[in-house]
């Protein structure tokens, strides 16, 4: 289990501080949960690919699989540091 904190960059330019919990760690792929108050944001924002900047320096591109008022279930992949800097 991989846990930590990060910043979720939303498609409208805003973002949210999140706690994450990834239960799957296969190669560069991740699956798990982002914990934050999702009801503060329009549901339409979660229909796009988003970038999670983790406090440990990794970046994960995620898509939402499921949501509730307090978390998003996501799947995604880590991107190399040089690709993250260019994005």
Q: Express each pLDDT in 19-77 by its tens digit.
A: 999 986 678 899 999 999 999 999 999 999 999 999 999 999 999 999 999 999 999 99
Q: Give 26's strand partners.
A: 29
Compute CA distances 49 → 1, 64, 68, 71, whole Å. Answer: 23, 8, 18, 16
Each domain of the chain, given as residue ranges in start order, spans 2-86
Give residue 86's pLDDT.
Answer: 63
Predicted confidence band of residue 82 (pLDDT cuts 50, 70, 90)? low
Q: Are 3 and 20 in contact (CB under 8 A)?
A: yes
Question: Does the pTM exceed 0.85?
Answer: yes
How many CB atoms within 10 Å of residue 61?
18
């Amino acid at each position: 289990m991989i846990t930590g904190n990060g910043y979720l960059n939303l498609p409208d330019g805003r973002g949210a501080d999140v706690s994450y919990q990834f239960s799957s760690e296969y190669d560069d792929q991740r699956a798990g949960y982002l914990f934050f108050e999702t009801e503060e944001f329009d549901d339409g924002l979660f229909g796009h690919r988003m970038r999670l900047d983790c406090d440990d320096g990794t970046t994960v591109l995620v898509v939402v699989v499921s949501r509730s008022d307090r978390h998003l279930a996501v799947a995604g992949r880590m991107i190399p540091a040089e690709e993250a800097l260019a994005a």
